[in-house]
Structure 1
């Protein structure tokens, strides 16, 4: 359901991989089911597995079934996302994932996941420095594997409660780290990955709204090129919610318009409108308004901007109720993207064969 919704929400451009851990499937085989569903229920890009080298190889092999060897030889069609084992340790999960993806010319995203005060110092400047050292070491290794292999520098610095040790999100210190690492990534000539709509809240409440908004806004202003956890994140990443997914996606459209900057074209400066409208007149019926009214302003699907009487007549629904109705409506309207029948059959055969080869493992 989450993959289907991601496919249908226009402001989401990427499906990730583990958007929900399928705990009823053995750990050793989960990646096969997740990859198959990403590849058949959506045509948006997605990540591959990284937790064990054979799982990374399965991801690359299944991507080749979908895209073909020739396309894959010339393009990055799948990426892996790995975290260094902070502080200052790059283990075999990271190096083997880099080897598997980059040797095939595919992309790798390396993200030092630093809880300041635990995996890094409590000072933001020190944690930023540590994160850059860890990520750039992995960047150098990826280029030893294959010069020119796509590499994305990631940032996931988070503060923590020094009373309980619990991660905190949307706080000012991680926001500052986004801005600092954004500038460093541009200086290094590397694309940047940051976190998205992050919150420690357990439900879609005011805490979730302001923590997610502050976190995502800083990611956008930092100039991030690739964003994971942009929608649906709750409880510090331990759970997701359908309502939170569509609520966050609604806001992403606004961020995308803001990130596009100010349009100063001749059409945007509207010279003809000022020639048409008399002083103290109005622009509602002007030719410029008629040409642009459908795209002039971002219109969120979930926000209610009508008067209170109209809101009451419509059932006085709060945001969570409107979000529930939106995601259930989207699922009812879902139709899978077209996929070549031969490709789908080959994917099914690959998954079946690999499942027969891999012993069940629940850890």
Structure 2
């Protein structure tokens, strides 16, 4: 086993990841659509260990197989591709795959692709050395220091989109940032997609909860971008979960096929809780994750070879005393590092980890767990980092304050990903030579030239002396974050949207909503 920091075989490039230091996080001139890593990935396993994990994933698929439910069209696609199909009951099939079959199907999936945003300056590259930060996803609850924990609403949903759009440290608008529970389940996808379009000009994720909702999401993008453009370019992605262990249900597979048929992107993610739906041991969980995600990705290539697909990994542990899930722990961080290696061997983009935490407050536990998890994603080479901001309460709650703390940490991670400049100017010889030994450097030409950009300037950290901090009220980080999100929302201005497109989107939504009764489950 090796623990060397090695360079990805895809190479490293500097580009739009130019240093973004300075600022409290409000300067729009510092924005870049994504960042290119200038540091190597951290590869912890050697070839024999990686081959053992891959062989176990192949054995899972060959000897246990994947279960497919309520989607005979998907079963027919895998049967035609060489899978061995056994009907277990009406609408339930087990499919087994010979070693290497799924990998062969994945060879047509792109190693990198571009997701286009309505503002072309915010297009993001997914894959290679590109790193894209996006907000957390899927919480039914929201919380802040003023009102506590409560069910999310469409107002909360829009607020988080606005906060994300206002941060230069996020690159993507995300998807279901929180569940807007004040809108019927069968209609809320329309309001969510529209909110991403209206209040952000970045890329976003569409609905995946039913194939017709996936189709609606793509249809709204055709209104926004034009049908011809959508037919030829990725403008939206869906985030699909397998039903672990080893199941793909019909809603999921039909949704995957809907995105793939339209040439749109999809993320394929087992949600693995050790001891519950995956082995307790992390190597076993990684092997299962690889088997499930590869199979889900392969479906896209059966529908439309070349459709963008992202390998996904969501590894978590549990408290064995209580059975409660735990997030931001050390073992999944190791698993993420290995998933990075496995994704590169498949030449697929990777989504994994994020600012995870089981804490119930935006406190020290929250940020310690978050950084354990987030750094593993940064160091493993992950390309798309969902859950980069707001994740609290084991993903049950989206926190306003933690959103601000996390985005501020994402700013520091931009500097970290940029690596260390060792140019003549950065080595600073002239700074020492100007005045010589025993003299301070505050007024040297080198200091004056770099003082605005040398270090990341946090919007939320308090670095004052104790006495000054105490005299100003002794305010903690969560309280500073509370004031910060309110100020950002007060200053928010929506990006311009063509009124004709806006009207067409609203008409589409009205027609869809009036065609169906409300459903609240």
TM-score range, shorter chain: over 0.9
Q: Does 1:204 align with 2:362?
A: yes
Question: 1:25-64 maps to which residues of 2 (within 5 A)?
Answer: 25-64=183-222
Q: What's 1:265 paired with?
A: 423
Question: 1:65-214 maps to which residues of 2 (within 5 A)?
Answer: 65-214=223-372
- Superposed CA deviations along residues 22-78 of structure 1, whole A, max 9, x for unmatched, are 111110001011111111011122100001000000111111211222332332111
SS at match of 1:27: coil
Provide closer, same or farther for how the CA distance between residues 74 and 274 of structure 1 changes in structure 2, counting only shifts above 3 A.
farther
Q: What's 2:392 paired with?
A: 234
* Cα separation, 1, equivalents of 2:160 and 2:342: 34
SS at match of 1:121: coil
* Cα separation, 2, equivalents of 1:215 and 1:329: 29
* Cα separation, 1, equivalents of 2:410 and 2:199: 22
* Cα separation, 1, equivalents of 2:216 and 2:202: 19
* Cα separation, 2, equivalents of 1:294 and 1:71: 41
- Superposed CA deviations along residues 121-160 of structure 1, whole A, max 9, x for unmatched, are 1111011001101111122211111111111111101001
* Cα separation, 2, equivalents of 1:281 and 1:273: 10
Q: Does 1:323 align with 2:481?
A: yes
* Cα separation, 1, equivalents of 2:361 and 2:421: 37
Q: Is the 8 A contact 2:272 2:278 kept in 1?
A: yes
SS at match of 1:23: coil
- Superposed CA deviations along residues 276-296 of structure 1, whole A, max 9, x for unmatched, are 342333332222222222111
Instruction: Give 1:271 deviation, angstroms.
Output: 4.4
* Cα separation, 1, equivalents of 2:241 and 2:169: 26
**Which of residues 335, 353, 360 is equivalent to 2:493?**
335
Whose RCO is larger (CA < 8 A, sep 6+)?
Answer: 2
Q: Does 1:220 align with 2:398?
A: no
Q: Is the 8 A contact 2:353 2:376 kept in 1?
A: no
Unmatched runs of 5 consecutive residues or more in structure 2: 1-158
* Cα separation, 1, equivalents of 2:463 and 2:424: 31
Using structure 2 for the length normalisation, give the TM-score. Answer: 0.68
Instruction: Give 1:95 deviation, angstroms.
Output: 1.4
* Cα separation, 1, equivalents of 2:470 and 2:299: 60
* Cα separation, 1, equivalents of 2:506 and 2:184: 18
Greater fraction of residues in strand = 2
Q: What's 2:412 paired with?
A: 254
* Cα separation, 1, equivalents of 2:419 and 2:233: 29
* Cα separation, 2, equivalents of 1:266 and 1:134: 49
Provide closer, same or farther for how the CA distance between residues 275 and 87 of structure 1 changes in structure 2, counting only shifts above 3 A.
same
Unmatched runs of 5 consecutive residues or more in structure 1: none
* Cα separation, 2, equivalents of 1:253 and 1:28: 37
RMSD, aligned α-carbons: 1.4
Q: Is the 8 A contact 2:175 2:206 kept in 1?
A: yes
Q: Is the 8 A contact 2:186 2:518 kept in 1?
A: yes
* Cα separation, 1, equivalents of 2:438 and 2:341: 46
**Which of residues 13, 20, 27 is equivalent to 2:171?**
13
Greater fraction of residues in helix = 1
* Cα separation, 2, equivalents of 1:157 and 1:98: 22
Instruction: Give 1:360 deviation, angstroms.
Output: 1.4
Using structure 1 for the length normalisation, give the TM-score. Answer: 0.96
* Cα separation, 1, equivalents of 2:437 and 2:455: 24
* Cα separation, 1, equivalents of 2:429 and 2:254: 59
Q: Is the 8 A contact 2:319 2:326 kept in 1?
A: yes
